[in-house]
Amino acid sequence: MPNITINFQEAAVATIQSGTRGIVALILKDTVLTNTAITMNSINDMPDTLSAYNQDQITKTFLGNVNPPQQVIAYIEPSTETDYSSGMTYFQTTTWDYLAVPGIDAADATTIATWVKALRDTYNIKVKFVAPNNVANHEGIINVSTTSFIVGTTTYATQDYCARIAGLIAGTPLTMSCTYAVLPEVTDIQPHLTTTQLNQAVTAGELVLVNDGVKCKIYEGVNSLTTTSVAKGADYQKIKLVDIMDKIYTDVNMAIADNYVGKYPDDYNYKCMLIIALQAYFTGLESAQLLDTGSTVGIDIAAQTNYLQGIGTNTSTMTQQQIKEANTGNSVFLAASVALLDAMENFVFNIAI
């Protein structure tokens, strides 16, 4: 059993050491290397036979932020394709974190946004789509709404700069947000928004850039979610916090699937060993300052009680410990409480004179 704890600890260490949020997926259209996926660990892996437009998009993706993204995977569709279905089919069974589709139009962006929502909500595949002007109202869709990105003498439309934004987010350490992340190559943006307009854009779930007179930077790292609920509170509106949640889900799900499912008896002792392993994982994330201190893991008493009652067990005379130790067939009911750590963004500084 100790190896289970080690696997969780290693997952935490990998999250801490990766330094980036992960992998950027691109769907490109070209006349060469069609119907193939190109995996690039650095800009040096980019094929020089691709069109100038696609090479520019990949190059900008690798610019990243503090770091470049860990990896860029580009699926090449024939330029004659009228949709992005083959790229979507490929990426449904491939590991990635952020998707961008250079040059995409509004209708196709909506189609892909709907697909990404389903991946997250129905299949629990925790991926995100950086989309141009897409009012999706969902934590999995980053709605880039800045109209023009000016780089020297070249002006890029929104749909031609989403890959750059995806790479920037993927290259931002999990301890940081992308708020105020600078795009050093961008000399100007349009439109120039007032502070009131910028705040209105953030409230509307838009990721916008601001020109502060010296540099162009992301105003606030938010996704398109605007309707919060008990299930999805304000934390779900922040790109950084959603990334931490997604990383936790993916790490825990994979570690349990690889090391626990079908491998041990479903009794209380083994459940406790799993709890210890999960606690070690969360402690690692606390040390990395991704979670606040005080994370807890344990048997989900309410869920376990409901299960026992559902199979006809009278729980009214059982102690809490008896409920914890009760036989639950092949089911394991656990609950955790963690507090995500955001980055410093809003400052109040009063100076008395």
Distance CA 156, CA 285 (A): 39
Residue 274, Cβ density class (10 Å: 0-12 exposed, 13-18 middle, ≥19 buried): buried
Distance CA 140, CA 239 (A): 9
Which amino acid is present at 260?
A: Y
Q: What pLDDT does 7 receive?
A: 52
Q: What pLDDT does 251 receive?
A: 84
Q: Which of these ranges, 3-7, 85-89, 155-159, 182-186, has the smallest mean pLDDT?
A: 3-7
Q: What pLDDT does 225 receive?
A: 98
Q: What pLDDT does 137 receive?
A: 98
Residue-range domain boundaries for the chain = 18-237, 265-337
Strand order in the sheet with 154-157: 154-157, 148-151, 188-190
Q: What pLDDT does 6 receive?
A: 44
Phi (first) and psi of residue 230, to 5 degrees: -65, -40
Is pLDDT at 285 greater than 80 in this prediction? yes
Is pLDDT at 4 greater than 50 in this prediction? no
The mean per-residue pLDDT over the stretch 135-148 comes to 98
Tokens 């790490």 -> residue = 251
Distance CA 60, CA 161 (A): 8
Q: What pLDDT does 350 receive?
A: 87
Q: What pLDDT does 75 receive?
A: 98
Cα-based distances in Å from 144 to 134, 162, 174, 301: 8, 7, 21, 43
Task: Count CB atoms within 10 A of the CB of residue 201.
Answer: 20
Is pLDDT at 330 greater than 90 in this prediction? yes
DSSP state of 219: S
Angle CA 319–323–327, to nearest 5: 145
Mean pLDDT across the chain? 92
Q: Does domain 18-237 have CATH number 3.90.1070?
A: no
pTM greater than 0.85: yes
Q: What pLDDT does 12 receive?
A: 55
Spatial CA neighbour of 269 closest among 332, 338, 337 = 332
Residue 17: band (very low, low, confident or very high) from pLDDT cuts 50, 70, 90: very low
Q: Residues 196-231: pLDDT tens digits?
A: 999 999 999 999 999 999 999 999 999 999 999 988
Distance CA 250, CA 253 (A): 5
Distance CA 208, CA 213 (A): 16
Distance CA 166, CA 183 (A): 12
Q: What pLDDT does 10 receive?
A: 57
Tokens for 320? 């809490």
Q: Residues 221-269: pLDDT tens digits?
A: 999 999 999 889 999 999 999 999 998 888 888 888 888 889 889 999 9
Distance CA 133, CA 147 (A): 9
Residue 145: band (very low, low, confident or very high) from pLDDT cuts 50, 70, 90: very high
Q: Are the C-beta atoms of 165 and 136 separated by less than 8 Å?
A: no
Spatial CA neighbour of 177 closest among 235, 248, 249 = 235
Distance CA 61, CA 57 (A): 6
Q: What pLDDT does 15 receive?
A: 53
Task: Count CB atoms within 10 A of the CB of residue 343.
Answer: 18
Is pLDDT at 318 greater than 50 in this prediction? yes
Could you give the residue ranges of the DSSP H alpha helices within the chain? 2-18, 52-61, 85-91, 106-121, 162-170, 195-203, 239-259, 268-287, 301-310, 320-325
Q: What pLDDT does 288 receive?
A: 85
Tokens for 86? 């083959």
Residue 5: band (very low, low, confident or very high) from pLDDT cuts 50, 70, 90: very low
Cα-based distances in Å from 260 to 5, 271, 320: 11, 10, 25
Is pLDDT at 18 greater than 60 in this prediction? no
